[in-house]
C-alpha cells in the first residue's frame, strides 16, 4: 500500500520538528516538506492558537489543492468552526492531550475520508447549521441540501408518481413552471432523468 503523503506546519520550529518525528515513525505515512504541502493528502497544523493567519494559509492552500487538514491546538474558538471547515479542517485535536499514536491514527483515518470533532464541537456545528438553515436559507426558499423548497416539493410529487399536469395542479403552478423547476434542478446536478432526480433527492435525504 502506498504511503500517505502528509505535511506538517507550525509557527514554532521545535513543535514542527517534533510532529514530523512522530509521523515519520509510521511506515504508512510519508512526510513531505512544508514547501510541497500542496502535494500532500493531509496537512497537520500544530499551533497554540488557531487564528486568522492559520485559516488564511489554509484557504490559500485550498486554491492549489484540496488536502484534508488536521488542526492540533489548545485554543480553538467555537465561532471559527465553520471557517475552519470551509478551509478544509476535518479534525480538531487538543494539543496537550493528543498522544503520538492518536495523532498517527487520526491522520490515517482522515486520509481515508473520516473526520474527527469532539462531541462538543459536533454539537456546535449542528447548532450553527440549524441557525444557517433558519436565518439564511429558509427565508430565501433554500435548504441545507442545496435544493430550493419548491424543487423539493416538485420532487416529492414526482416520487409519488404525479405527472407534470398533476404536479402543477397540486402546487398551483403552471406546467411550464414545473418543467422549468425540474430542468433547472437536473441541469445543476447533472441528472439525466426524473427517476435519477428522485434517487438523488432520496440519497440527499430531502424527500
Cα-based torsion angle of the residue sequence 76, 82, 87, 92 in order, rounded to the nearest 10 degrees: 40
Whether 94 contacts 74, CB under 8 Å: yes
What pLDDT, on a 0 to 100 scale, did the predictor assign at position 81? Answer: 87
Confidence at residue 143, expressed as pLDDT on a 0 to 100 scale: 62
According to the model, what pLDDT value does residue 128 have?
A: 77
> Beta strand pairing status for 42-46 and 68-72?
parallel
What is the pLDDT at residue 64? 64
- What is the Cβ-side half-sphere exposure of residue 112, based on CA atoms within 13 angstroms? 12
Domain that holds residue 182: 139-204
pLDDT tens string 139-151 = 766 666 667 778 8
Work out how many domains the chain is built from and give that number: 2
Residue 145 covered by a domain: yes
Pair 147, 111 in one domain: no
In the prediction, which pLDDT does 7 show? 93
Place of cell 503520538: 100
Q: Are 46 and 70 in contact (CB under 8 A)?
A: no
113 & 144 share domain: no
State the Rg of the chain over Cα. Answer: 22
Report residues of the chain scoring pLDDT below 50: none
Q: Out of 89, 122, 155, pick the residue that ends a domain.
A: 122
Residues 6+ apart with CB under 8 A from 185: 147, 151, 154, 155, 191, 197
| Closest by CA position to 30, among listed 19, 16, 40 | 40
For residue 171, give the C-alpha cell. Answer: 402546487
The CATH number linked to 17 is 3.40.50.2300
Is the domain of 146 the same as that of 67? no
| Helices 164-171 + 175-188 axis angle, to 10 | 110
User: Among 70, 96, 122, which residue terminates a domain?
Assistant: 122
pLDDT at position 15, please?
Answer: 93
The DSSP H or E segment spanning 8 is strand 4-9
Whole-number pLDDT of residue 177: 93
User: Which of 113, 108, 66, 110 lies closest to 92, judged by CA?
Assistant: 110
- Which CATH number do you get for residue 150? 1.10.10.10
Amino acid at each position: 500500500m502506498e504511503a500517505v503523503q502528509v505535511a506538517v506546519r507550525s509557527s514554532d520550529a521545535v513543535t514542527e520538528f517534533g510532529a514530523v518525528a512522530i509521523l515519520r515513525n509510521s511506515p504508512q505515512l510519508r512526510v513531505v516538506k512544508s514547501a510541497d504541502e500542496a502535494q500532500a493528502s493531509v496537512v497537520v497544523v500544530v499551533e497554540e492558537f488557531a487564528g486568522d493567519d492559520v485559516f488564511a494559509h489554509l484557504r490559500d492552500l485550498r486554491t492549489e489543492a484540496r488536502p484534508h487538514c488536521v488542526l492540533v491546538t489548545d485554543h480553538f474558538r467555537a465561532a471559527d468552526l465553520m471557517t475552519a471547515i470551509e478551509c478544509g479542517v476535518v479534525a480538531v485535536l487538543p494539543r496537550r492531550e493528543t498522544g503520538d499514536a492518536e495523532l498517527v491514527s487520526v491522520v490515517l483515518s482522515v486520509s481515508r475520508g473520516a473526520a474527527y470533532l469532539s462531541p462538543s464541537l459536533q454539537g456546535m456545528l449542528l447548532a450553527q447549521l440549524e441557525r444557517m438553515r433558519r436565518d439564511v436559507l429558509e427565508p430565501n426558499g433554500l435548504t441545507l441540501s442545496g435544493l430550493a423548497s419548491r424543487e423539493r416539493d416538485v420532487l416529492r410529487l414526482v416520487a409519488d408518481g404525479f405527472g407534470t399536469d398533476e404536479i402543477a395542479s397540486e402546487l398551483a403552478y403552471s406546467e411550464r413552471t414545473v418543467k422549468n423547476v425540474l430542468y433547472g434542478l437536473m441541469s445543476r446536478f447533472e441528472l439525466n432523468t426524473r427517476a435519477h432526480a428522485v434517487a438523488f433527492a432520496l440519497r440527499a435525504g430531502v424527500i
